[in-house]
Amino acid sequence: MPRSLEPLDLGLQIPYHFRCPISLELMRDPVTVCTGQTYDRTSIESWVSTGNNNTTCPVTRAPLSDHTLIPNHTLRRLIQEWCVANRSNGVERIPTPKQPADPTSVRALLSQASAACGTHVSVRSRAAALRRLRAFARDSEKNRVLIAAHNAKEILIRILFSDVAPELVSESLALLVIFPMTEPDQCVSIISDPGRVGFLTRLLFDSSIETRVNAAALIEMVVTGTKAADIKGTVLTTECIFEGVIDLLRNPTVTSSPRRALKIGVKALFALCLAKNTRCIAVSSGAPEILIDRLAAGLDRCDTERALATVELLCRTPEGCAAFGEHALTVPLLVKTILRVSDRATEYAAGALLALCTAEERWREEAVAAGVVVQLLLMVQSECTERAKRKGQKLLKLLRDSWPDYSFANSDDFGCSEVVPF
């Protein structure tokens, strides 16, 4: 219940005409329907969306022949003044709501943004239209659905890859990454085109840090949305892509939103490493060092899981194992992660340790010294995933010779199962 309604329990009466006839609560965004009746926007939208017999006005029962909702600014200002007058009773002033996008405005803005060069529409006007659309998209999911329904993504892709004006490139890119790239054809149209991939790669080194972050975000989206592994592996074999993404992870604080830069950098690096023939490039570009440094510095749970999944992927290559093994923090960090973050994080850490300990004896000894045996024994008896347990069992068997002092060193309780591919 909104805080502004709490004083009702103390006897404060909300004026009748300030209440929504549907919810009976204080209206925060009053709108008038075609019958002349006013409701809170959320309530009447919910009423209409339920269908059935709800195509009539809830109060008058007259048909809602037009679902246009007209903001009742006068009533909203009266409600706000009442809230201010009753501030001493604990009532908070309701904020002035942002008006939702409407189909007519969206069509006009998209038309203005996509105007051809040489027309009367200037670059500045086109960029202003894109900024207005971005403001709408940021306001609500409903606005994003409306904008996407007007073929916005195709229009934005065309602007991004055909216009040379930096302002249009940055604005179209910033708007495009707000929408999920769920259509495989759109993803393939970008990732299968070396020219487009090269353009996005150059944007990773743009003078605008926001453009760099958004370029990495779009790369991650189209790579993830493309199912054909051969396309990914063919186009993404350039060190520049990895260098650009890794630089975001190395210097996230230069952005206005370091958390977003880190999240997008981790997601993009993971997506790029899903193709087997890109992993050696990731290693040579410095991915192992930056991943361990970022994990040691601390990431949120989702980013930690994705970063550890990337570590495990890269450890499947000899070059990756060597690079991670040489980092002084790798083995102790992976051991410490087990059972500390989440089941997924445990699984990926165990998988990476298994690859490292299989590669060289010195890393087995380092893992044992870091306390991995106790962690693994706890893990195989825990509620973690079956894949994690199988990796733990295989790792325990591999480490037998490294912990002879334990009475269960020669036990056959920890048999090996095949490791399920990540």
Q: What is the DSSP string of 2-57?
A: -GGGGGGGGTPPPPGGGB-TTT-SB-SSEEE-TTS-EEEHHHHHHHHHT-TTTTB-
pLDDT (0 to 100) of residue 66: 82
Homologous superfamily of the 296-401 domain (CATH): Leucine-rich Repeat Variant (1.25.10.10)
**Fold (CATH) for 16-89:** Herpes Virus-1 (3.30.40)
**What is the per-residue pLDDT for 254?**
66
Assigned token pair, 403: 């912990």
pLDDT tens digits for range 64-107: 888 788 899 999 999 999 999 988 888 888 888 888 888 999 99
Is 10 within 8 Å of 89 (Cβ atoms)?
Answer: yes
* Inter-residue contact 202 to 244 (CB < 8 Å): no
Residue 253 pLDDT more than 80?
Answer: no
Contact 26, 39 (CB under 8 A): no
Residue ranges of the domains in the chain? Answer: 16-89, 100-179, 182-285, 296-401
Report the candidate in 272, 226, 232 with the shortest Cα–Cα distance to residue 248: 272
Mean pLDDT of 276-292: 94
Specify the pTM.
0.79
Is residue 233 predicted with pLDDT exceeding 90? no
Predicted confidence (pLDDT) per residue in 10-65, tens digit: 457 889 999 999 999 999 999 999 999 999 998 998 888 876 455 788 998 888 88
Give the Cα separation of 347 and 313 in Å (integer): 12
The SS3 of residue 70 is strand
